[in-house]
Structures are given as structure tokens and as C-alpha cells.
Structure 1
């Protein structure tokens, strides 16, 4: 009887270890970065993560007015090997892993533009609503090694309102392979004159209507920023995630009459259910 019981215990322990290993394999992310959501658990086919986030953020670029905003979070994803196609909010894209150290991403999204009513204090009165437009995003991240402990990031955003570029370096904390843990990055941002004037420029018509000085900005250095990401499973299918963003503007942007603060900050937290 003791022998049979021992055999059964060994079989149960072995089964539990196998199940645990399979669960870990299912949770293997395309890259183990908290800033890159992956709901596929390492499996090919469809995946869905859906939840809500609460963000405390500026009312518009350069604003000193802050408020809470509740948004949907998550994405619909389809994975085939080292490629994931995704639909997240107003963005449709693809990302793929190459040679274990390159993450490439291409997406098309929609920029809603700024509205005059975004300022409750009337700081945008007379400027009118900004133009809506389609944006194309190309991104490449390169890890220094296969575990993605340190990485470099380059990104270009181009659309009807101009072009923005970003260069960043980041570090991942923790040993998880499922995309959870902590991550921090420092970024330098550049833009062309069209992009700069979309957010911070004032043409002659806007100047006459608002009483603000006419402002025409050139392209170049926009800001330096810090980004922190956190993601963790709190149950088998529930994730909690958070983000802190700080962006310090260049002197040219600070001189714009639209800019009422030298920096912009954002704090967000949310929950996602992975189906």
C-alpha cells in the first residue's frame, strides 16, 4: 500500500510539474517587455485581452490642466510564430521578432486632434479644433542580448499633421518571460515644423481670434522624457498594469503661448482580462 501511495504521489508531482511547465510555455511572450502587450500565451491563433484603464493626464499638449480619464484597454491579436497582428483601439498593426534581438513594428492609427473645448479654463479659445488625421508608425527595437535586459528603440510617426521621431534606451527588470515585470526607458523626441505647429503653433487667423501672439515653430528637438511600465498577473487570466510618463519640453516649445507648463506628465493604471 505504501509503495502504491508513493507511486501515486510521484505521478501527481510529475503531472503538476508538467502542467506548470506547459502553463509557463503558454505564457511566453513574443518579447519579455511589459511595454509590449502579448495576450497569446505563446500559442498560435487568436487572442483577446480586454479591460479598463484610469489615467491622470494633461488636457492637451502643453496644458497645465489635469484630469482623470477612463479608457478601454487591451487588444485583439492573431499570432503565427514570431509574428503578431493586432487591433488595439484606433490602431491596426503588425509586430515581428527577428533573430531573437530585433522587434519590428508597423501600424496605422488615427489621431483625433485637439479640440478647443479641451481646455476648461478657456486657454484654447479662438484657436479652433485641430485637424484629425491618419498616422503611420514604424518602430524597431534592438536588444543587447536574447533576454532583452537592455534595449534600444527607434520610432517614426508620420501623418497628415507632420512627422515625429523618437530614440530611446531601456532596461527590463525581473526574469519573467511572459511580458510581466518592470521596465524603464529614457527617450529623446524630435519633430518637423508641421508636427510642431500642429500642437504649439499659432497662425495669423488664430492669433486674431484668440489674442495670442502669432507663433511659427521650426523642426528639431522637441523633448526628453522618461517612461516607466509595469505589468503583472494577479490571477490566471487577470493582469494589472501601470504606466508613468514624464516629458520635458525644449525651450522653443516652452516659449509658445499655448504651452502653460514646461513639462507634461501622465499616470495610468488598469486591469485586463485575458480570454
Structure 2
């Protein structure tokens, strides 16, 4: 009985701490907004997990070098007319949950990943697909990962955040703008994790991106450059 309980306990990995995310106030904004958030990293048997914005997920397939699965993820992308005077007359876009389908594979120091995000909260944010390739290098207690990626967005997403209908144009005095599906952005990821001890660690994730196509040319867009940063400190039980 004691051994089985120890084995069951050993299948759990639990890390909890405070975190903060800094992101554009709205897609295409030249200003940023800070969001406090929990920095949880909880998993059971490398199968069920809760990590960062992924509230609850499952690795349907998993191995030493790969994962394939799904999760319910929170997305903070939103927009309100109070964010910027230029947005008056445009509809608000609320944040909400998304279904995330993902796959990743690691070979030596390189990890390739792809994730599809589907709006399931009725916020009009449609579907996006993000692909990334990073190289990871351990330096003592520091693990540094860096690499490029891009995001594709469907027509519903670009219409919600970057399109302007005739009615919206009359209300906002911005020109009409029609959008479609295509590359939303290209970006570079830089992630750093440092272990202070066996229990305490810190993490910093930076994503610097450049809006493309419909997102770049929209009258709503103030800046093509996007910077998102997440910092956290966690304690492992």
C-alpha cells in the first residue's frame, strides 16, 4: 500500500506561483496592458495538465520526444471602445476560452510545434494556427530557448479585429476595410528558465512579432510591431 501511494504521488508534478503578462492593449495597438495571472504548472503522469493559459489539457499521445493533445485555453485578446479614441463606433471584442489542438516534437536541441486555437466562447475570434521552431541550450541552471514562428488567421478573426464594415465606418469615421484569411504575423520567441534551487524557479517568455497582410494594412492598426512578455516565479512541491 505504501509503495503504491508513493508511486501515485510521484506521478504528480506541481508548481505554483505569481505571474504577469504584458501584451498589446488590443491587436494592432501601439500601447500595452498588464495582466496579473497565476503561473501554475501542474501535471499528472505527463497526461493531464494545467499550465499557464491552458486551464485544463490532455496529452492524447505522448512520448519522450513528442506530445499530441488538446486543452481549454484562455486568450486575453480583446478590444473595447475605451481603449483608444479611434475605436469609438467600433464593436467591443471580448476575451474568452478557446479550444487548443497541439502537437510538438523534439529532436536533439530543436523543438517544432503547431497549435490551432478555435473560439468556443462566442467572441467572434474565429480560428488561428501558430507554428514555432525553437532551439534550446542549457547553461548551468539557465535554460534558454530561441526561434522563429508565424501565425495564420481565418477570415472571421481578421474581420473581427481588423475589418471595418460600412456601418462601422460611418460610426467611427475610419475607412471601410475588408479582410480575409492569411498570415497574421511573423514572430521571434525567446524563453528563459532559471532554477534557483530544487524548489524555486523563474521564467521569462518574450515574443516579438510583426503584423502582416490584412492585420498590417488595417486602419485600426497603429503599430505593426507587437511585443508580448510573460514573467513568473514558481515553487515546486
Q: TM-score, normalised by structure 2?
A: 0.83
Question: Match for residue 18 of structure 2?
Answer: 52
Shift of 1:137: 0.5
Question: Match for residue 189 of structure 2?
Answer: 227
Whether the aligned pair in 2 keeps the contact of 1:52 and 1:70 (CA below 8 Å) is: no
Among candidates 57, 61, 73, match of residue 109 of structure 1: 73
Shift of 1:100: 2.0
Shift of 1:117: 4.6
Greater than 6 Å deviation, 4+ residue runs: none
- 2:10 is paired with a residue whose SS is coil
- 1:174 is paired with a residue whose SS is strand
- The answer as to 2:76 corresponding to 1:122 is no
Shift of 1:251: 3.4
Question: Greater Rg, structure 1 or structure 2?
Answer: 1
Whether the aligned pair in 2 keeps the contact of 1:164 and 1:192 (CA below 8 Å) is: yes
Question: Match for residue 9 of structure 1?
Answer: none
Structure 2: gaps (5+ residues): 1-8
Q: Report the structure, 1 or 2, having the larger strand content.
A: 2
Whether the aligned pair in 1 keeps the contact of 2:115 and 2:131 (CA below 8 Å) is: yes
Q: TM-score, normalised by structure 1?
A: 0.72
Q: Distance in 1 between matches of 2:157 and 2:29?
A: 17
Shift of 1:64: 0.5
- 1:108 is paired with a residue whose SS is strand
Q: Distance in 2 between matches of 1:267 and 1:172?
A: 18
Q: How many residues align structurally?
A: 225
Quick one: structure 1 residues 259 and 270, their matched pair in 2 at CA, closer, same or farther if it must change by over 3 Å? same
Among candidates 112, 121, 132, match of residue 168 of structure 1: 132
> Aligned ranges for residues 135-154 of structure 1 at < 5 Å?
135-145=98-108, 149-154=109-114
- The answer as to 2:64 corresponding to 1:64 is no
| Cα RMSD after superposing both structures | 2.6
- 2:85 is paired with a residue whose SS is coil
